[in-house]
Structure 1
Amino acid sequence: MWNPSKKTRTIAIKILIALFSLTMIFHVAALLQLIPFQFLWGGRLSSLEEMYVMETVSLLVNGFFLWSSFRYLYYINQGLVPVWIRIVFGFIGIIFLLNTIGNLVAITNLETLLATPVTAFLTGICFSLVPKYEN
């Protein structure tokens, strides 16, 4: 079984930290209506109120992903990645896998063409952090 090195995992987690941070900025921009809600959530939102609910949930979930990424970085620097954080990244990987499938059937071409490769990439990174880390 493939067991990424500490360096590979550190690079992967730093990529996640950068992407989750950028994603949170995107969701804040959506909440501030800098991005029309018709382009969000695969073009399936029908009102501003619905957008506020969905984007708030997205912001909270991405905040959890960012916090988890910082925890993983802390643990990898300590030389031991506990099972619970690896399970969290398995769960996050499943979320991104499902999101990738959702992006493929999005109504808006922008989401299909832009978000699908990003979420597929995030799926791979998250799953690469799941195997047991052996120092």
Structure 2
Amino acid sequence: MKPSIAIKMVLGIIIAVILFHLCILLKVIPYEITWGGRLTNDTEMYIFETFSIGLNLILGLAVLIKGKLIKPFLSIKVVNVVLWIFLVLFVLNTVGNLFAKTNFEKAFSILTLALSVFLWMILKKKTS
């Protein structure tokens, strides 16, 4: 798979994930099925969901810069470090999702594994 396709796949997944987290914030989707079933109240949900949306926006910006889809405002070295951090986080999250309390969240291990693979493909891409 070409890195450009991996970039588009990651961006598509990020958009879907942000929409998912917005649905949780708006209480369209119950928060009990997320975060390993460990959230106990609305305050925790608002904090965790806002944090998650922020992280996804950071990842999206890094991928957009790496894919040369926006004008870089960070060096490529910083972007690569950010992407490596996310790669490690997604690998760890894949393992964590396998041990989640809900089957719904266990299914997300497929998504986090896919993101790990796509990020690996993007990071292998040579930049000029």
Q: Common fold, TM-score beyond 0.5?
A: yes
TM-score by length of 1: 0.84
Q: Secondary structure at the match of 2:124?
A: coil
Select 1:124's aligned residue among 117, 123, 128: 117
Aligned residues, how many? 125
Letter paired with 1:19 = I
Secondary structure in 1 matching 2:2: helix
Q: CA deviation at 1:127?
A: 1.6
Distance 1:132 1:46, change over 3 A: same
User: What residue number does 1:3 align with?
Assistant: none
Residue in 2 aligned with 1:54? 48
Q: Which runs of 4+ in 1 moved over 4 A?
A: none
> Could you tell me how far apart the structure 2 residues matched to 1:82 and 1:38 are?
38
Task: Flag structure 2 segments of 5+ consecutive residues without an equivalent.
Answer: 70-74
Give structure 1 stretches of 5+ with no counterpart: 1-6, 76-80
Once residues 87 and 22 of structure 2 are traced to their aligned partners in structure 1, the CA distance between those partners, rounded to angstroms, is 23
Letter in 2 for 1:65: L
Matched, 1:98 2:100: no
CA RMSD, aligned part only?
2.2
Residue 65 of structure 1 is matched in structure 2 by 59
**Hey, what's the Cα distance between the residues in 2 that align with 1:47 and 1:94?**
29
Give the C-alpha shift of residue 20 in structure 1: 0.4
Indicate the percent of aligned positions where both proteins have the same amino acid: 30
Task: Name the TM-score, length of structure 2 as normaliser.
Answer: 0.88
